[in-house]
Amino acid sequence: MTIQNFVVTADQMRQIETRIFAAGMPVAALMEKVAGLIARRIQALLKAEGSSATGSVRDLTDRRKREEGKNLVKSQFPVIGVLVGPGHNGGDALVVARELHFQGFQVVIYCPFSKLKELTKNHADYARSLNIPFFDKIEALKNCDLLVDGLFGFGLEREIINATAAALDEINNLNIPILSIDLPSGIHTDTGEVLGTAIRAKHTLCLGLWKMAFLQDRALEYIGSSELIDFDIPAADIAAILGETPAIQRITRASATQHLPLPRSPISHKYTNGHLLIIAGSRRYSGAAILAALGARASGIGMLSIAVPESIKAMLSSQLPEALVIGCPETQSGAISELPVAIDLSSYDAIAAGPGLTLEAAIAVESVLESDRPLVLDADGLNILAQLGTVPILSERSALTIITPHPGEFKRLFPELADRTGEDRIAATQAAAQLCGATILLKGAKVCISCKEEGDSLPDSYASRTITYLNPESTPALARGGSGDVLTGLLGGLLATAIARKSPLQSVAATAAWWHAQAGIMAAKERTELGVDAFTLTQYLIPTLREFAE
| Contacts with ligand NAX, residue ranges (CB under 6 A) | 17, 27, 30-31, 34, 85-90, 92, 117, 152-160, 164, 181-182, 207
**Distance of closest approach, residue 193 Cβ to ligand NAX, in angstroms:** 13
Interaction of residue 181 with K ion, rule CB under 5 A: yes
Of 34 and 307, nearer to ligand NAX (C-beta) is 34
Cα 46 to Cα 76: distance, rounded to the nearest angstrom: 11
Of 226 and 319, nearer to ligand NAX (C-beta) is 226
Of 10 and 445, nearer to ligand NAX (C-beta) is 10
**Using CB distances below 5 to 8 A depending on partner kind, what does residue 180 bind out of ligand NAX, K ion, none?**
K ion
Cα 151 to Cα 347: distance, rounded to the nearest angstrom: 60
φ, ψ of residue 318 in degrees (nearest 5): -70, -30
For residue 455, count CB atoms less than 10 angstroms from its CB and return exposed for 0-12, middle for 13-18, buried for 19 or more.
exposed
**Distance of closest approach, residue 90 Cβ to ligand NAX, in angstroms:** 6
Of 33 and 525, nearer to ligand NAX (C-beta) is 33
**What distance lies between CA 390 and its chain's CA centroid?**
26
**Distance of closest approach, residue 20 Cβ to K ion, in angstroms:** 20
**Distance of closest approach, residue 509 Cβ to K ion, in angstroms:** 33
Give 116's contacts (C-beta < 8 A, 6+ positions apart).
86, 90, 124
**Distance of closest approach, residue 200 Cβ to ligand NAX, in angstroms:** 17
**Distance of closest approach, residue 159 Cβ to K ion, in angstroms:** 16
**Using CB distances below 5 to 8 A depending on partner kind, what does residue 155 bind out of ligand NAX, K ion, none?**
ligand NAX
**Distance of closest approach, residue 152 Cβ to K ion, in angstroms:** 5
According to CB under 5 A, which residues from 126 to 165 bind K ion? 149
Neighbouring-strand partners of residue 227: 205
**Distance of closest approach, residue 481 Cβ to ligand NAX, in angstroms:** 41
Closest-by-Cβ residue to K ion is: 185
**Distance of closest approach, residue 8 Cβ to ligand NAX, in angstroms:** 12
Interaction of residue 544 with K ion, rule CB under 5 A: no
**Using CB distances below 5 to 8 A depending on partner kind, what does residue 338 bind out of K ion, ligand NAX, none?**
none
Cα 417 to Cα 274: distance, rounded to the nearest angstrom: 35
Where b means 16+ CB within 10 Å and e means fewer, 503-523 reads eebbbbbbbbbbbbbbbbbbb
**Distance of closest approach, residue 165 Cβ to ligand NAX, in angstroms:** 9
Of 13 and 376, nearer to ligand NAX (C-beta) is 13
Cα 435 to Cα 452: distance, rounded to the nearest angstrom: 10
CB atoms within 10 A of CB 102: 11
**Using CB distances below 5 to 8 A depending on partner kind, what does residue 356 bind out of ligand NAX, K ion, none?**
none
Of 84 and 215, nearer to K ion (C-beta) is 84
**Using CB distances below 5 to 8 A depending on partner kind, what does residue 336 bind out of ligand NAX, K ion, none?**
none
- Which parts of 146-256 are beta strand (E)? 146-150, 178-181, 203-207, 210-211, 225-229, 248-250
Cα 511 to Cα 517: distance, rounded to the nearest angstrom: 10
Measure CA of the first residue to CA of the last residue in the chain; give whole Å: 19
**Distance of closest approach, residue 119 Cβ to ligand NAX, in angstroms:** 8
- Establish whether the linkage from the previous residue to 263 is cis, with ω within 30° of 0: yes
Per-residue HEC secondary structure of 367-405 comes to: HHHHCCCCEEECHHHHHHHHHHCHHHHHHHCCCCEEECC
**Using CB distances below 5 to 8 A depending on partner kind, what does residue 149 bind out of K ion, ligand NAX, none?**
K ion
Give 53's contacts (C-beta < 8 A, 6+ positions apart).
59
Of 149 and 360, nearer to K ion (C-beta) is 149
Alpha-carbon dihedral 441, 12, 96, 58, rounded to 10 degrees: 0
Of 154 and 348, nearer to ligand NAX (C-beta) is 154
Interaction of residue 421 with K ion, rule CB under 5 A: no
Of 90 and 177, nearer to ligand NAX (C-beta) is 90
Residues 438, 402 contacting (CB under 8 angstroms): yes
> Judged by CB under 5 A, how many residues of this single chain contact K ion?
4
Of 181 and 251, nearer to ligand NAX (C-beta) is 181
Of 72 and 161, nearer to ligand NAX (C-beta) is 161
Strands 466-470 and 448-452: antiparallel
Closest-by-Cβ residue to ligand NAX is: 153
Interaction of residue 185 with K ion, rule CB under 5 A: yes
Interaction of residue 172 with K ion, rule CB under 5 A: no
Q: Which one, of 206, 195, 132, 200, lies nearest residue 171 by Cα?
A: 200
- Which residues are near K ion by CB under 5 A? 149, 180-181, 185
